[in-house]
């Protein structure tokens, strides 16, 4: 008898399971149930469809050669039976069958299975706010919302847009709306947007978005949506905002109704609990994608990190095991990247905050550098932050912000963390070099070397946040700018003293040896050189501000 597999969910993980099963076992009978109309579409591409960068809806549902992945495609090309607009209603574990119902029909279907896969995805969070169901309030969680948003934009009926939530969905949607001419405000209840980043890196993103006209209100709660039939405003703890459209981007929760009703085990994050083969507590039922609780590779703790990349990898693992193979999904680092106007924003591993919460004694470095040789056209700065466990010298996390190619540096960091590499090993990594693609010492290698210098006591660093706190407290120290006069004239940091690096040796008498000196420049390479000059001249209280002016996340003096 052929292997019978029923898959509930036909967007990302489900179709991956189906396609891989048919490659491994062409005689299998695979049926995919999808509650919605659209199959195997790229949900992560929806913001770019809204902006017009992706021109047609079908592009999000097509293969790389332009073939639309519809029911006919799956039947003819994959030999997979797909029932879209069909809801799975009940799992009968004892009889190993699924009850389903087609849209608009009253009669139920019973589908028998040998193996069942739940790929039911996630649902957007709707906050308990007054008037949250008004017209022109969307989530951008599916194609239906994307089409409605595009229609409003095309009719020029959405000039003022409020996005509630400053996570990945909210930030990616912002660029699409600004591109369409909207005035956009992000309201975030936490002290920063993009909680996947540490505060100072997130603040650099906020400042970049503000430079594109986006208003960002952090530490602000939404109390109600205003309007009678359609939304016209948003009430917050800091006043009322006009709004022709509201995007709810608070996040998603795993869609586990079917699993819960079947008494499948759920984990502490609310997702379906699976082992590393993607099996649930029922050995004949697997679960993959956004409905599943994950495991953090570094801490071993349960986590919920819904990403399309993870869903596809899990789908492959589940399919191999269903077909009798032995494959494992070990967990995730939470690697993520998004485009914010012309900034690449990426991260992997633990943040500084989470590393400290898990008891690590860490050092951090913030290093700006070019993503390719500075003399090459198109060369751009990228700000890297590394989080390093001091006792073991292992890389624990990394973040990248800036117009340069931060994604590939985070990919290198993710591999280094997975392999348990130290910053000493990372600094010797044999990465590719050619001026159009990288610098001779790639910026992630430079960052690793800065971390080594800190660990070895060759340099004492201080963060921009610590400097700001000391300036606000009016601490008595010298904030030494060693840039050129022209750079200092263009933009200055508050309460800084200018002595260009080339003049430092001849002007040492101007600097009191009894005071602490914090040196900096544009990226703090010259700041480091200044610190070595001062130490060589007998100054014992010298520190370098991480990242220099480029990494300063606060207002400048001019």
Please tell me the chain's helix, strand, coil percentages from 3-state DSSP, rounded to the nearest 5.
Answer: 30, 25, 40
d(CA 260, CA 93): 12
* Interior angle at CA 396, CA 390 and CA 400, nearest 5: 120
180 is catalytic: no
Nearest-angstrom CA–CA distance, 21 and 529: 59
Q: What is the DSSP letter of 551?
A: G
How far apart, in Å, do the first and last CA atoms of the chain sit? 77
CA angle 275, 277, 280 (to 5 degrees): 50
Report the 3 state secondary structure along 258-324.
HHHHCCCCECCCCCECCCCCCECCCCCEEECHHHECEEECCCCCEECCCCHHHHHHHHHHHHHHHCC
Task: Considering the candidates 44, 291, 303, 432, report the single residue annotated as catalytic.
Answer: 44
Task: Give the gyration radius of the chain's Cα atoms.
Answer: 27
* Tokens 């390479």, residue located: 525
Contact 337, 42 (CB under 8 A): no
Cα distance between residue 324 and residue 311, in whole Å: 20
Dihedral sign, CA of 482, 556, 545, 446? negative
* Token pair belonging to 32: 């995919």
| The two structure tokens encoding residue 189 | 């209840």
Containing 336, the helix (H) or strand (E) segment is: strand 336-340
Name the residues annotated as catalytic: 44
């Amino acid at each position: 008898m052929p292997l019978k597999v029923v898959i509930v969910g036909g967007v990302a993980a489900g179709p991956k399971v189906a396609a891989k099963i048919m490659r491994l076992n062409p005689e299998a009978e695979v049926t995919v149930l999808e509650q919605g109309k659209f199959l195997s579409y790229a949900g992560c591409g929806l913001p770019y469809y809204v902006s017009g960068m992706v021109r047609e809806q079908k592009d999000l549902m097509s293969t790389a050669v332009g073939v639309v992945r519809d029911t006919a495609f799956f039947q003819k090309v994959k030999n997979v039976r797909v029932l879209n607009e069909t809801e799975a209603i009940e799992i009968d574990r004892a009889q190993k069958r699924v009850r389903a119902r087609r849209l608009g029909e009253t009669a139920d279907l019973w589908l028998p299975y040998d193996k069942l896969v739940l790929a039911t995805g996630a649902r957007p969070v709707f906050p308990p706010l007054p008037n949250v169901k008004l017209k022109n309030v969307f989530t951008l969680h599916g194609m239906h919302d994307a089409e409605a948003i595009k229609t409003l934009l095309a009719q020029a009926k959405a000039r003022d847009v409020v996005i509630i939530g400053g996570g990945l969905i909210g930030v990616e949607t912002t660029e699409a709306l600004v591109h369409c001419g909207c005035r956009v405000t992000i309201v975030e209840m936490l002290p920063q947007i993009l909680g996947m980043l540490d505060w100072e890196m997130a603040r650099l993103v906020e400042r970049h978005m503000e430079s594109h006209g986006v208003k960002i209100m952090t530490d602000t709660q939404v109390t109600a949506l205003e309007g009678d039939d359609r939304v016209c405003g948003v009430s917050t703890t800091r006043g009322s905002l006009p709004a022709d459209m509201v995007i709810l981007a608070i996040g998603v929760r795993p869609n586990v109704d079917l699993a819960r009703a079947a008494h499948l085990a759920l984990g502490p994050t609310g997702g379906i609990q699976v082992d590393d083969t993607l099996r649930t507590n029922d050995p004949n039922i697997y679960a993959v994608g956004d409905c599943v609780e994950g495991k953090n590779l570094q801490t071993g703790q349960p986590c919920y990190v819904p990403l399309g990349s993870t869903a596809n990898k899990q789908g492959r693992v589940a399919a191999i095991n269903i077909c009798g193979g032995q494959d494992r999904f070990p967990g995730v680092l939470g690697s993520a990247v998004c485009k914010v106007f012309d900034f690449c924003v990426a991260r992997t591993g633990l943040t500084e905050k989470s590393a400290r919460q898990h008891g690590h004694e860490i050092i951090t470095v913030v290093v700006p550098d070019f993503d390719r040789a500075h003399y090459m056209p198109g060369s751009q700065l990228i700000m890297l932050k590394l989080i390093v466990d001091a006792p073991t010298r292992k890389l624990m996390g990394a973040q990248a912000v800036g117009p340069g190619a931060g994604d590939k540096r985070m990919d290198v960091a993710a591999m280094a963390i997975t392999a348990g590499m130290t910053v000493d090993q990372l600094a010797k990594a044999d990465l590719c070099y050619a001026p159009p693609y990288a610098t001779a010492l790639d910026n992630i290698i430079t960052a690793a070397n800065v971390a080594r210098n800190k660990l070895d006591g060759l340099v004492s660093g201080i963060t921009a946040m610590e400097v700001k706190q000391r300036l606000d407290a009016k601490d008595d120290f010298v904030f030494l700018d060693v840039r050129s006069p022209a750079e200092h004239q263009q933009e200055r940091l508050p309460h800084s003293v200018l002595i260009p690096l080339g003049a430092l040796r001849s002007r040492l008498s101007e600097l009191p040896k009894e005071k602490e000196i914090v040196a900096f420049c544009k990226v703090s390479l010259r700041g480091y050189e200044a610190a070595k000059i001062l130490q060589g001249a007998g100054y014992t209280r010298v520190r370098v501000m991480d990242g220099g002016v480029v990494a300063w996340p606060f207002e400048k003096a001019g």
